[in-house]
Structure 1
């Protein structure tokens, strides 16, 4: 123990330190940046889903008043953005994504040229004058077309339009297990293509700093160091000559954790013109031409014994990844995650899976909050529901018989799960639903002819992926570790710098709580810096619920090192061993006489201004750095969600009457922040279950290019969420915390779908696809003759 402080900040709901700035309009986002002589960029985008470019004529564009320049790929001569797996080509096919399309376009909205003008409206005028001629090719717009034997190829090198095709697991004898099982259930499930829909669309401001000989790129990315790496390679600059800065960011959700083409093209235009250039994505482009997610198809079956215990799982997963692999995660991110992690919270003794990523003429896919987990959790939970019905078991009871209870647990998928509260969360969630009276209300409603259903989902959230976990995916770029620096100045104030990025997760608060506790310091004395590639050597940013688990651990270790140095300086002054000192409220005090203490200001004066007084083994200054990586299979948060819905016959509407969440993310650094993450994630999960979907017509034209077509819920459709916390501290992080960012989104679709099916039980209809539309529910509730009943 290095701190005598009793009133710990970690574990308390400290008020968010970001709020005064953001709520008073003092936040600074990319679009707030105004620079002298700044120009504005917009992109000429493909109007066809698939075709060769026969001509790009920008002559009239350059004649539009206010247009300064217009560039094609040939004008800028940029390198491609290529993400690769280090697998044999039989398993993975890399696809080079040009910054601007050169010879061929592969989806509606693909950037073909960039127009730069004095203001954004003049840039839009310039777009209207562009003339691009295409020789159309047959578009691939669905899984069936992509995998057809005679299908045209989206990429010549991708046979069968397949970018990834892996069978990660196949237990010997699994066919015999299914042949002999008393109960085998099947699920064929599809999830709709979605947009992550951050409040702030993508954007970038690029300028050349002549004094520093450095390109400065302000952009709203979750991974600034990866943007720096790609920008330097595409622009053929030394990495030192690129600085990426992330100001305040209005949401990301995974969409912004990959490197986009537009920010690279904006930087190239700024270099070419020698003037600052800004690009802000409009909502039409954000909905239709940005990175999308979630379009997946699961064909799964499970074998159970007569008591409802699972004997085997067999799955085929097809993920429609759109036209290109994203950088750095590749097209493998969704099928590989689904294949590796599908067993989840359940004890599955035998497993076989095939995971495929297919390419189609749609906007490419990026990670989106939860990645494949909302889909495969839905598949697993539907299997549990279906088996419970076949075996005449209570749906909660069949889960009790199958959840992991002994930890650490190494599954058939070769993943070791650290301790969690899987059974405890399930029991508590069911108890909360019962004690709120919903089972009695359901029975009464059924007697009145109303349709009320109760559904659950039980799941884990793999968080804090380290290098070891990512390396298992054979990625050429292997994320994982994070760096942190903690520095104290002569006033005793502390600046912490981290490689993570906050885009709504309250890092300025939670990271400061960790540092203040480690140093026994007032939180007001701690300031966090993030989102600047010149401040920290390298960082992997924020995605996959890693910030507190990995970045917070690095910050905690660095703060601990700084505390050790403070104690060593004080101990030298007193002539005692450092072990006989402790940190306490901005001071180092003696353990044998707590009234004797030296303030941090005094020690900082010695470290900086009187370094001749330091012992030879202590360097001047008060700076400490640390790196942290998770070297096991990751840390697993877990939760159970319970949902009560009512289906309305006249409209087919699904009304959510109540929502319960029991979550365990280890040590909750700030419980209020965790609850905010839960509620926000649940809202996105409900939206995916009931509202959001982008479809394409036969020509590859997207259906939703505005909020008139792309349905998202309002506050009216999102219920109040009752949240209960459990706490199983993590043994693998420096704070005991696990990730909390994605759980809400992971669990909600399955719970809502199960509740809807529970309400539909008297009709004999079962739904397995999302989003669940009012039309689908209305048809299910409409009386049919026996011949018409599915």
Structure 2
């Protein structure tokens, strides 16, 4: 029963409830935690990319004043972290990731031993005293080396260093389609390896609670229950004996939605010493030895008819996943995502794709905001642009002829897309850029010899992945559902507990908006609890834009159940049927006599303090729980991005002059929060398009270990962003909301790259790789020097 309200909170940009605490320094992050007798840990890390460990000498480490302990893999005897797919060995090869490397290291920075000391500085001194001897092996540092017939193997069981090799789709007759097509265009694109770069690096504080007979691990993770599961397995404890708590978290972006090794080793040290132990990752380790993402290589072609309508799409995708599979998603996370979703928003009638994950001697890969979609959208959009040039069509018009317009639409990739505004967002984006005068300014600038380009990107963001969608990947661990509990205390205040995990998404505000509307209570009286594995049976955390679509739906269902119980108690007191009651602001009232009402406080006191007055069919207390899952392919947000760039001849710099985002995430619970997600995501997408990249030398040494080398855009490089909203409600989430967390990142690289190529049109040069460096742009803009005559 919906409450009677004229001031609904869902859909309003109410102020973020988190901000007063976080902006005044009253947030509590992992590094803020101080416990009596706490020790500090740091890790001895491999200095070679590939080698056998022949000796680990920690004797001098233990002699450093203030060092209390130092442990190797042999000392701790921990179980390995193993992620699995239910696929045959010719499609997927599992790899065991040891918590501490025992006999072999596979990337620079891999943890070999943990040092525990009285303070973090002494722990670092202890690390420097460690002596590790290696028998070095040739490192595998790129795709060509990895796939060579005589390749050195990173894992002996993985032939040609291939962990995943899957052909998901192959339309019959596709070769004939390409042979007979009026136009066939090709794109070969490579994208740079990136770091998700959350403001707060990883960290953990662990201690043993004798009273509860329980290991308590406080860590900044997006997936606390999965950390609990893995920690219990590695430490050989019952899950009941492990409690994971997440304090405030300064960003995650996917990097923290996998289980790391250092958190487990920190917990093991605390368990062994029976003392609290803290580990905080420094920025050098975060840049070079943490999980990375995005290094992908696409070889793609598309067939079009003479009118610019796509006939077929054929692609080969190779993703460099580094040294190990991440838990729980495995090395399949990037190639399987890209292969399944490459057709995107376009009506592709024929499709063939091969997706591979290779292993190299680099830090392993984890999901990063958008997970392959920034890359495969960039490739699809480059194909559209190239076809438009070949067929002499306007780049917006060729998209109009190919975007999905009738819903639900089942694509060649066997996905069913729920209703969206693909064409509408494209039209509105173009109109917004035209109304802002960018096309006229571009024409005038080009006449003056300046290089200004306009580029577009059309895409969908698959969100609300349920267990059915994840099961299609054949994961051994299948995320999807979410649990929620809503309870009211005797004062009428409400506490909400969910399995999602905020790391900057404003859940304390948006979840409270959903509950306040569902129950008819004041927003200030709703409190959210997340990130404690002892508070809720199981939760899958926050990733893949699932929190509001899935978690918010579970919260809405639980709140509705609690509302029904409030009405049932009131109905029993009045002696009427519950259907004759309705929720109002802070009370339940009678439909036939609106002035007759009982406050939530009155009803709560009855439920808890006067339960003898309740009918036998109503249990004491005011608690309700619910679970929500999605049984189909999920829901699809969509957007169109438009970028305006200028290329500067003297420096090769790419300046973004304007940026427009037209987004549709269904019902926006809080439009201001959605805009924040868009702007932050676009900034990260621009970073990948123009700045950020981790490279490796021939010995497997990473190039970027500080911000001197890892180029991050500042506010100066990020333009003002115009955001326009469309709304196509989702029909099967409880609030009509779709996900909004990753769309900004997904669309930005393609829009920027297409704008750069539009600016280069007069040169005849086309770029397909990111990041786009100033050197590359400078070479494209600078004519070759004339040959000297003798």
Give the TM-score normalised by the residue count of structure 1: 0.99
Q: For 1:404 and 1:562, how far apart are their aligned partners in 2?
A: 41
Aligned to 1:104: 104
Q: State the shift of 1:787 in Å.
A: 10
Aligned to 1:200: 200
Aligned to 1:226: 226
Aligned to 1:95: 95
SS of residue in 1 equivalent to 2:617: coil
Aligned to 1:509: 509
1:786/1:666 CA distance change after superposition, 3 Å: farther
SS of residue in 2 equivalent to 1:185: strand
Q: For 2:590 and 2:342, how far apart are their aligned partners in 1?
A: 53
Which ranges of structure 1 fall in alignment gaps of 5 or more residues? none
Aligned to 1:44: 44
Q: For 2:389 and 2:501, how far apart are their aligned partners in 1?
A: 45
Aligned to 1:331: 331
Aligned to 2:137: 137
SS of residue in 2 equivalent to 1:152: coil
Q: How does 1:550-589 map to 2 (within 5 A)?
A: 550-589=550-589
Aligned to 2:712: 712
Q: 1:324-370, CA deviations, whole angstroms, 9 ceiling, x for partnerless residues?
A: 00000000000000000110000000000000000000000000000
Q: For 1:784 and 1:49, how far apart are their aligned partners in 2?
A: 40
Q: 1:262-305, CA deviations, whole angstroms, 9 ceiling, x for partnerless residues?
A: 00000000010110000000000000000000000000000000
Q: 1:147-181, CA deviations, whole angstroms, 9 ceiling, x for partnerless residues?
A: 01100100000011000000000000000000000
Q: For 1:415 and 1:624, how far apart are their aligned partners in 2?
A: 34
Aligned to 2:272: 272
2:610 is the alignment partner of 1:616 = no
Aligned to 1:406: 406
1:271/1:389 CA distance change after superposition, 3 Å: same
SS of residue in 2 equivalent to 1:509: helix
1:787/1:665 CA distance change after superposition, 3 Å: farther
Q: For 1:511 and 1:478, how far apart are their aligned partners in 2?
A: 24
Aligned to 1:302: 302
SS of residue in 2 equivalent to 1:458: strand
Q: How does 1:621-636 map to 2 (within 5 A)?
A: 621-636=621-636
Q: State the shift of 1:246 in Å.
A: 0.2
Q: For 1:488 and 1:104, how far apart are their aligned partners in 2?
A: 54
Aligned to 1:122: 122
Q: For 1:162 and 1:705, how far apart are their aligned partners in 2?
A: 27
Q: For 2:397 and 2:26, how far apart are their aligned partners in 1?
A: 52
Aligned to 1:426: 426
2:600 is the alignment partner of 1:600 = yes
Q: State the shift of 1:322 in Å.
A: 0.1
Aligned to 1:359: 359
Q: For 2:576 and 2:430, how far apart are their aligned partners in 1?
A: 57
Q: For 1:787 and 1:239, how far apart are their aligned partners in 2?
A: 73
Aligned to 1:525: 525
Q: For 1:546 and 1:418, how far apart are their aligned partners in 2?
A: 16
Q: 1:569-627, CA deviations, whole angstroms, 9 ceiling, x for partnerless residues?
A: 11111111111111000100011111110000111111111111111111110000000
Aligned to 1:663: 663
Runs of 4+ deviating beyond 4 Å: 785-788
Q: For 2:362 and 2:406, how far apart are their aligned partners in 1?
A: 44
Q: State the shift of 1:784 in Å.
A: 2.6
Aligned to 1:82: 82
- Does 760-769 or 569-578 show the bigger shift? 569-578
SS of residue in 2 equivalent to 1:637: strand
Question: How many residues of Structure 1 are paired with residues of Structure 2 in the alignment?
Answer: 788
Q: 1:444-489, CA deviations, whole angstroms, 9 ceiling, x for partnerless residues?
A: 0000000000000000000010000000000000000000000000
Q: For 2:205 and 2:785, how far apart are their aligned partners in 1?
A: 62
Q: 1:400-430, CA deviations, whole angstroms, 9 ceiling, x for partnerless residues?
A: 0000000000000000000000000000000
Which ranges of structure 2 fall in alignment gaps of 5 or more residues? none
Q: For 2:488 and 2:441, how far apart are their aligned partners in 1?
A: 59
Aligned to 1:70: 70
Q: State the shift of 1:695 in Å.
A: 0.2
RMSD value, Cα? 0.9
Q: State the shift of 1:786 in Å.
A: 9.6
SS of residue in 2 equivalent to 1:778: helix
Q: For 1:255 and 1:726, how far apart are their aligned partners in 2?
A: 30
Q: 1:358-403, CA deviations, whole angstroms, 9 ceiling, x for partnerless residues?
A: 0000000000000100000000000000000000000000000000
